[in-house]
Amino acid sequence: MNKTMLGYVPTESPIYEVHPFVKLFFLLIVSLYPMFIAAPEWNALLMVIIFILMWFSRVDLRTMRIYIPMFISMGSIIFISYVLFGGNHPEYVLLARVFVINIYWERIRDAIVVYFRILPMIVTMVFFLTTSRERDVIVAMRSIKVPFVVTYVFAMALRSAGMVLEDFHIVREAEQARGFDTIGKSLAYKIRKYVMYMIPLFALSLRRSEEFTNALVARGYAFTGEVSRVKRADYLLTHYSFKPHDLVLTVLVGVSFVTLLFFKYGLGYFNLDTSIFINWLFRIIS
Amino acid sequence: MANVIIEIKNYSWRYLNTTSPALTNINLTVEEGKFIGIIGPNGSGKTTLAYSLDGLIPGQYNGIKEGEVLVYGKEVEQYARGELQRSVGVVFSDPESQFTAMTVEDELVFGMENLGMSVPEIRERLEWVTELTDLKPLLMKPPYEISGGQKQRVALAAVLAMTPKVMILDEPTSMLDPISRKRIFEVLEKLKSEGSNTIMVIEHSLENLIPLADRMILLSGGELVLEDETRRFFQKMPLLLEKGVHPPGSMQFFYELTENGFISNLLPLGIDEAVVELEELVGRKSGYGDPR
Amino acid sequence: MDTSKPSELTAEQIWTVQPGEKRSVGVIHIVILALLIGIGFVVGAFGSISFPLGFGVNFFWTGIAVQQVGSIWFGLWGVIAGFIFPFFSNGIAGTPFYVSLAYIPANLVQGFLPAWAFRFFKADPRLKKGRDYVILFLAMIISSAFGALYSPLVVLKGFGLLTTESVPLFIWGWFGGNVVAGIVFNFILLRALSGVVIRTTAFVKKWWA
């Protein structure tokens, strides 16, 4: 198994045949699709396609479980925001009145549209995180000639996030060993405890900055000056080659995006008027 | 006479916001190709000395400097950013704090890329250094997921890959078990046998250091107390003990024998020499050999 | 070179480059940038996951400490880290990438304003006087107010994620979540660690060094 940014993927997965640039390109472009699609059934289809891609890549779909509470809370917030804070709109179709709250069809519809827009964006991000290693992101960035310092900062940031988490666990265990625990305590107590965790976390990171700097300087890295302008060999990229199927995939993603725009603005697809689901729902509710 | 590559003249360094200097009036020369051991109690200035040779002091630290630190005839401050580190490499005591890359391979390659080496050159150098430090099976692993001994070998290899002419190792085995420690010194031994580097090692583990060191330096309280060829260095046993240095037991044992007139030779530097010396002594005592 | 102990330094001296003092951008600043992004990632994600309102808006956003304290100590390096790490922390918590992208101006102002206020008014990062507390508090309030108005109104409404009627809830959520967390963390962090930070070569007196 190989560790990705969110979970593990078996070594035999076909996703390793895909160049990291294609994965990043997929994330950036496909994340845009829901912005142009209002009809929920199309966004739902997009989600299904991404799930299929995850399954094909042999990603453990149980990873999605950690996002279920978030999907539920987000759905609730959208529902509350749109339906309960829907305001007063006489031009809308009033479905019901609960105390002083008017329940409008248009608000329910809009809440569904928004929710089904957000879901595929999140799933696309999760697909990227579950199929990409940190190294892949760096390779993708270097492939498109992002300056080395940017990619290096990115890599160091990911590394330091891991170290901060480790530090947090160590500090927490040390506190627990001394009898301090937040389980069952009040919110104010927990907040006070977390404040006290922040100070050592910051202090450890500051000390670490000195050590990291010494290590970088000792290996001849400089941010300014002549040495910083040395042409780097990008040895990392030699492990990856852009194959014909990568080109095909990239073109496919690009063309599908252009096609989507054509269908939306040229032929009027993906709108609410032509949405089968919305029309069906309206018939049911009203 | 070998080429002098490091000259330290009347060098003192005081960190900002401290009352006493970390190093006081250090005078030292280091010849090319030598293996130097630096010892001393904690806080004696060993790390400060190491950093001063690599330009980390005063480059990365605020403080007050007096005197000169010359590497290859040039003051460390006169080197452009990143230039001195191509000649002088430092391996720090905590390997974890030196790792900023995602894989061992990336860690090893980072320094070589900074030098502007080409891909074929990097490939060749990588092959050499992983062979030397036995790191080939670990190349694709994250450096923070390997054992302490492996981490230290990675840290060493990352600097070695840049083939600095001078290598300074600051307590490279302080966090290692005895077996891992031995492996590090085996690598150093191989390097020494190749003869292409000047190596300076700060260590507390004298058993492994002494057999390799050509010369030894003792720092105490920021001052250079003693500096000599290794064998003569350890003749000054009372001074070493007074300054908190504890030579290997076998050496101390033979010092006592010397003090009591049983032997008059220079002290053995390791177990093997001690055994030979002891055999000779026992042989003499039992009548097989020259009478004393 | 000023060799005074940190305890003897005045606020004016802390922010003023002394005669003969040389300050320049170095590797340490790149490292600080990366480390702040890393801390912000973890700390911000904690807030986003533990106290979510939605779309990266939280009732108690601990990331504000990294944005504001990091910017006070490290100038523009902290400001840059302050608008980069929310990509990571929001992303983990499920906020779409393009929403995080659109939040940049809010996060930029939230980091920049305290940094500017401390430098312009020569406030002591160690918070020695009442004046220092007031400057910090006002900077926190004003910057969070900007963020709170900009993000729900421009971003969330612009993306169609909120109705006009629910915008006030998110405005107060953003504002309150930042200010309350800021009050809890900023003062303590500055008091506890500024004395150490101003001694380091990473500390930024101007904007970059």
Put simply, the answer to whether A164 touches C42 (Cβ < 8 Å) is: yes
Query: Above 50 in pLDDT, residue B292?
Result: no
Pick from B195-199, B202-206, C23-27, C127-131 the range whose average pLDDT is largest.
C127-131
A42 and A181 housed in the same domain: no
Q: Identify the CA nearest to A239 among candidates B102, B161, C34.
A: B102
Put simply, the answer to whether B61 touches C201 (Cβ < 8 Å) is: yes
Put simply, the answer to whether C163 touches A168 (Cβ < 8 Å) is: no
Query: Above 60 in pLDDT, residue A2?
Result: yes
DSSP type of residue B93: S
Residue B285 lies in a domain: yes
The boundaries of the domain holding residue A169 are 147-239
Please check whether residue A120 is in contact with residue A36, taking contact to mean a CB–CB distance below 8 angstroms. no
A118 and A8 housed in the same domain: yes
**Residues of chain B neighbouring C26 (CB-CB closer than 8 A):** 60
Half-sphere exposure of C120 (CA within 13 A, CB side): 9
A133 and A7 housed in the same domain: yes
- Here the contacts of A193-198 (C-beta below 8 Å, separation 24 or greater) are A194/C62, A195/C184, A195/C185, A195/C188, A197/A168, A197/A171, A197/A172, A198/C43, A198/C62, A198/C65, A198/C185, A198/C188, A198/C189
Residue B255 lies in a domain: yes
- For A228-286, give the secondary structure using H, E and C: HHCCCCCHHHHHCCCCHHHHHHHHHHHHHHHHHHHHHHHCCCCCCCCCHHHHHHHHHHC
Please check whether residue B230 is in contact with residue B236, taking contact to mean a CB–CB distance below 8 angstroms. no
Q: What's residue C56's pLDDT?
A: 65
Q: Which of B57, B81, B126, B145 to mutate to test the interface with A (most CBs of A within 10 A)?
A: B81
Mean pLDDT of chain A: 86
Put simply, the answer to whether B60 touches C6 (Cβ < 8 Å) is: no
Please check whether residue A9 is in contact with residue A58, taking contact to mean a CB–CB distance below 8 angstroms. yes
The boundaries of the domain holding residue B257 are 248-292
Residue B51 lies in a domain: no
Please indicate whether residue B215 or residue C154 has the higher confidence score (pLDDT). B215
A233 and A276 housed in the same domain: no
Q: What's residue B259's pLDDT?
A: 84
From B170's Cα to the closest Cα of chain C, the distance in A is 21
Put simply, the answer to whether B82 touches A220 (Cβ < 8 Å) is: yes
What is the Cα Rg of chain B in Å?
21
Question: CB-based contact (8 Å) between B236 and chain A?
Answer: no
From A232's Cα to the closest Cα of chain B, the distance in A is 5
A187 and A82 housed in the same domain: no
A133 and A61 housed in the same domain: yes
Report the neighbours of A using a cutoff of 3 or more CB pairs below 8 angstroms. B, C
Question: CB-based contact (8 Å) between B252 and chain A?
Answer: no
Put simply, the answer to whether C202 touches A82 (Cβ < 8 Å) is: no
Q: Closest chain C residue to A79 measured between Cα atoms? A: C162
Residue pairs spanning A and C at CB distance below 8 A: 171
A76 and A100 housed in the same domain: yes
Confidence of residue C2 (pLDDT cuts 50, 70, 90): very low
For helices B178-194 and B148-160, give the axis angle rounded to 10 degrees. Answer: 20
Read off the pLDDT of residues B217-266 as tens digits, 9 standing for 90 and up. Answer: 999 999 999 999 998 999 898 899 898 888 888 888 888 888 888 877 77
| Cβ-nearest to B122 among A3, A219, A235 | A235
**Residues of chain A neighbouring C62 (CB-CB closer than 8 A):** 194, 198
**Residues of chain C neighbouring A160 (CB-CB closer than 8 A):** 34-35, 37-39
**Residues of chain B neighbouring C202 (CB-CB closer than 8 A):** none
Please check whether residue C24 is in contact with residue A224, taking contact to mean a CB–CB distance below 8 angstroms. yes
| Cβ-nearest to A227 among B54, B80, B162 | B80
Put simply, the answer to whether A208 touches C62 (Cβ < 8 Å) is: no
**Residues of chain A neighbouring B117 (CB-CB closer than 8 A):** 233
Q: What domain count does chain B have?
A: 1
Tokens representing A55 are 């399954």
A107 and A17 housed in the same domain: yes
Residue B143 lies in a domain: no
Residue B291 lies in a domain: yes
A6 and A44 housed in the same domain: yes
Report the neighbours of C using a cutoff of 3 or more CB pairs below 8 angstroms. A, B
How far is Cα B44 from Cα B102, in angstroms, rounded to an integer? 35
CATH class of C24-197: mainly alpha
Tokens representing A80 are 């509350």
Please indicate whether residue B178 or residue C204 has the higher confidence score (pLDDT). C204
Q: What's residue C20's pLDDT?
A: 77
Residue B67 lies in a domain: no
Residue B272 lies in a domain: yes
Q: Which of A205, A224, A239 is the last residue of a domain?
A: A239
Q: Chain C, 100-129: which have a CB under 8 Å from a chain A CB?
A: none
Q: What's residue A197's pLDDT?
A: 78
Average pLDDT of the segment spanning C69-83: 96
From C190's Cα to the closest Cα of chain A, the distance in A is 10
How far is Cα A104 from Cα A110, in angstroms, rounded to an integer? 10
Q: What's residue C53's pLDDT?
A: 64
Q: Closest chain A residue to C161 measured between Cα atoms? A: A114
A210 and A278 housed in the same domain: no
Q: What domain count does chain A have?
A: 2
Question: CB-based contact (8 Å) between B266 and chain A?
Answer: no
* β partners of residue B170: B202
Calculate what percentage of chain A has a pLDDT beyond 90: 28
Task: Count how many residues are written for chain C.
Answer: 209
Residues sharing a CB contact under 8 Å with residue C62, sequence separation 6 or more, in sequence order: A194, A198, C43, C44, C46, C47, C181, C185
Report the neighbours of B using a cutoff of 3 or more CB pairs below 8 angstroms. A, C
A43 and A95 housed in the same domain: yes
Question: CB-based contact (8 Å) between B103 and chain A?
Answer: yes
Put simply, the answer to whether B16 touches C199 (Cβ < 8 Å) is: yes
Question: CB-based contact (8 Å) between C5 and chain B?
Answer: yes
Q: Closest chain C residue to A77 measured between Cα atoms? A: C54
Amino acid identity at A33? Y
Put simply, the answer to whether B60 touches C26 (Cβ < 8 Å) is: yes
Q: Which of A160, A201, A221, A227 to mutate to test the interface with C (most CBs of C within 10 A)?
A: A160
| Cβ-nearest to A235 among B89, B109, B142 | B109
Question: CB-based contact (8 Å) between C158 and chain B?
Answer: no
Query: Above 70 in pLDDT, residue C54?
Result: no
A175 and A118 housed in the same domain: no
Pick from A49-53, A67-71, B252-256 the range whose average pLDDT is largest.
A49-53
Confidence of residue A246 (pLDDT cuts 50, 70, 90): very high
> Sign of torsion, CA B211 B212 B214 B218?
negative
Q: Identify the CA nearest to C39 among candidates A212, B107, A199, A141.
A: A199
**Residues of chain C neighbouring A68 (CB-CB closer than 8 A):** none
Question: CB-based contact (8 Å) between B186 and chain A?
Answer: no
Q: What's residue A67's pLDDT?
A: 83
Query: Above 80 in pLDDT, residue A251?
Result: yes
Please check whether residue A220 is in contact with residue B117, taking contact to mean a CB–CB distance below 8 angstroms. no
Q: Give the H/E segment covering residue A193.
A: helix A187-218
Read off the pLDDT of residues B37-76 as tens digits, 9 standing for 90 and up. Answer: 999 998 999 999 999 999 999 888 888 999 999 999 999 9
From C18's Cα to the closest Cα of chain A, the distance in A is 23
Residue B260 lies in a domain: yes
From C156's Cα to the closest Cα of chain A, the distance in A is 11
Q: What's residue C1's pLDDT?
A: 40
Q: Identify the CA nearest to A34 among candidates A24, A22, A49, A19.
A: A49
Question: CB-based contact (8 Å) between A165 and chain B?
Answer: no
